[in-house]
Amino acid sequence: MEYEKIAQEILTNIGGTENIKHFTHCATRLRLTLYDNQKPDEDKIKAIDGVVGVANQGGQFQIIIGNDVKYVYKALQGIADTSNDNSSQESTEEKSVVNRILDTIAGIFVPIVPALAGSGMLKALLAIAALFGWISTEGQTYQILDFVSDAIFYFLPMLLAHSASVKFGTNPYLSITIGGILLHPSFTAMIETARETGTGIQLFGLPVTPAEYGSSVIPIILIIWFMSFVEPAVDKIVPKVTRIFGTPLITLFIVAPVALIIIGPLGTFLGDGLASGIEWLNGYASWLIPMIVGTFTPLLVMVGMHYALISIGINSLAASGFDTVAGPGMIVSNIAQGGAVLAVAIRTKNNQLRSLGISTGFSALLGITEPALYGINLPYRKPLISSMVGGGLGGLFLGIMNVGRFQQVPPGLLGLPSFIGEEGFSNLTYTVIGLVISFVAAFITQLFLGIDDHGETIVDDDSSSEDTSSEEPSAIDHQPQTISSPIDGEVVPLNQVNDEAFAQGLLGQGVAVLPTNGKIYAPIDGTVSAFLDSKHAIGIIGEDGAELLIHCGLDTVSLEGEGFTAYIQQGDKVKKGDLLLEMDIDFITSKGLDTTTPILITNSNEFRTIIPVEKNEVHVGEELIEISKGE
């Protein structure tokens, strides 16, 4: 894969370097904060080879790449002329409160996930070694490895202080210092003495709550958020010549006491309250949370809310030593998504979809689900339903068995050691059973539901299976096939279409028509494989294996369905000549949009020849494109 080319195409289609405020990446996505979120051409970006999809969440423009995202990120770093250091600046666009909260949670926790995952896996492997007697818990080797794996969890407030400082725009080193204050050995000793003797701790005559901040989550986030108001205010009043020491001095003098006396104890109370609430819910309905999380994780990932779950899980680990919120539900959901797309891969006759299903399926089993989610489950919908069924059933079982996770690691097969507790392997055994339930349920449900993929209908009867199982190519493959025109109008060569994605054939070969009336008819017999709420594009699977896309106008997705009247819906069987859609040409033109309608063969690589008609005008039902698979 040419990562530099992908990066260059992305840069071109997001509005250039001048539109980038900041960019980073997570496990599967490029995450860009842009000055103008209207500039990116999503259709063109989606058409880039190597891009799975795009999402716009919480004011952040996200490009889903998959496991190769880090290479594209490095390539983009090499060509983007930006300092990439303005991540703390908020978008000037208005965001909802929910979006701001989700964006903040993601910005704080995503950077520390790799360190948490590595340390968590080391801790889990150390637990396995101790259970099997491969290492003595009394030996120094074990003790050293134990604190090596535990360091990130104890010093978690300092790591969160840094990532929170980036998000809230405070000085990162001063923020880390604040985190260090909460964990300082002298303060820790004072807390132990206060608890042993029953005496209090005072600062300026005010009581300091003897709270333990090691491994805590909420207190430091609240403290750095408070600091984000104090530091700039102090900076304004301190003379410029003394700011290098004056601003941090006064900021520390204000923030540290407030942190120890008010915010720290408040954050501890909130964290403990959250943990107690979860413990109470587990006591009365232990099955509920894992079932809900197992069912709805794919939808939470789509809107970025899974980071809120992760933060709750981390807080539970810190408070009680195990997590029943995020870990169990998310792992069965990921395995279920893998089962659903692998079922698609097994049954589909489309080679591209089969390859995508296999690669994204195994990726999902290892805990990386976004390629499966955005590549198959979401576009085809039924696999999404199957994965939600499997995830819900698996989560229900884990909840009934009160399964918990003991370390923060990615929720996939490689993270299974994190479900081994000190009591033995019973928790792990139940986890494995839950994963089997989720995988099998999703797999079987998907085989039952089937999907209309691009080129074939997966669910078919036995006779059709037998008819297509011959090793010899069918005679129809060798005969030219005709795609009739779905619309009246002027024929426009594809390379003259005013949209590079179409003009360059990125979405497939074909031709375009500038319509003289807005009625769109079925050009072939087949199944409506894609028809979105925006109504601007229709995908049809032909009975002969051709995949057609009728894109009604350019950039008409922006109309959100206005100006279109639909007579079909996704999944409908259609016959050549059936009325599919009407578009209001005058209305679309009044909005300044081009009504030129590309008609494309999106699986062009499966055909040897694709020959558009050579004439200036065409009418509905007349020959428009000739295609052939024959030699």
pLDDT band of residue 508 (cuts 50, 70, 90) is confident
SS3 call for 201 = strand
Using DSSP bridges, classify how beta strands 526-531 and 573-574 pair: parallel, antiparallel or unpaired.
Answer: antiparallel
pTM for the whole structure: 0.47
Q: Is the pLDDT of residue 588 over 80?
A: yes
Calculate mean pLDDT across residues 597-622: 84
**Calpha distance 364→345 (Å, rounded):** 14
As given in the structure block, the two tokens for residue 429 are 């055994």
**Calpha distance 163→176 (Å, rounded):** 9
Cβ atoms of 442 and 339 within 8 Å: the answer is yes
Q: Is the pLDDT of residue 129 over 90?
A: no
**Calpha distance 537→566 (Å, rounded):** 11
Would you state the pLDDT for residue 302?
A: 63
Q: Is the pLDDT of residue 7 over 50?
A: yes
- From 3-12, 80-89, 441-450, the region with the lowest mean pLDDT: 80-89
Q: Is the pLDDT of residue 86 over 70?
A: no
Calculate mean pLDDT across residues 539-553: 86
Cβ atoms of 469 and 518 within 8 Å: the answer is no
- From 37-46, 54-63, 96-105, 339-348, the region with the lowest mean pLDDT: 96-105
Cβ atoms of 624 and 617 within 8 Å: the answer is no
pLDDT band of residue 557 (cuts 50, 70, 90) is confident
Calculate mean pLDDT across residues 371-395: 84
Residues forming the active site: 26
Would you state the pLDDT for residue 313?
A: 73
Which amino acid is located at 607 in the chain?
F
Domains for the chain: give ranges and CATH numbers: 3-95 (3.30.1360.60), 155-284 (no CATH), 287-449 (no CATH), 478-628 (2.70.70.10)
SS (H, E, C) 275-286: HHHHHHHHHHHC
**Calpha distance 259→23 (Å, rounded):** 31
SS3 call for 344 = helix
Which one has a higher pLDDT value, 598 or 276? 598
pLDDT band of residue 366 (cuts 50, 70, 90) is confident
- From 321-325, 460-464, 505-509, 614-618, the region with the lowest mean pLDDT: 460-464
As given in the structure block, the two tokens for residue 41 are 């051409």
Q: Is the pLDDT of residue 602 over 70?
A: yes
Q: Is the pLDDT of residue 84 over 50?
A: no
Would you state the pLDDT for residue 389?
A: 94
Would you state the pLDDT for residue 555?
A: 75
Collect all residues with Cβ–Cβ distance below 8 Å to 286 and sequence separation of at least 6.
324, 399, 400, 402
Backbone angles phi, psi at 489, to 5 degrees: 160, -170
**Residue 113 CB neighbours (<10 A):** 18
Would you state the pLDDT for residue 468?
A: 35
As given in the structure block, the two tokens for residue 71 are 């290479």
Least Cα distance to 28 among 79, 72, 76, 58 occurs for 72
Would you state the pLDDT for residue 249?
A: 92
As given in the structure block, the two tokens for residue 518 are 């807005």
pLDDT band of residue 306 (cuts 50, 70, 90) is low
Calculate mean pLDDT across residues 112-120: 72
Q: Is the pLDDT of residue 103 over 70?
A: no
What angle in degrees, to the nearest 10, is found between the helix axes of 306-320 and 327-347? 140
Top mean-pLDDT range of 176-185, 259-268, 423-432, 569-578: 176-185
Q: Is the pLDDT of residue 627 over 60?
A: yes
Collect all residues with Cβ–Cβ distance below 8 Å to 144 and sequence separation of at least 6.
none
Top mean-pLDDT range of 70-84, 243-257, 490-504: 243-257
Average pLDDT, the chain: 80
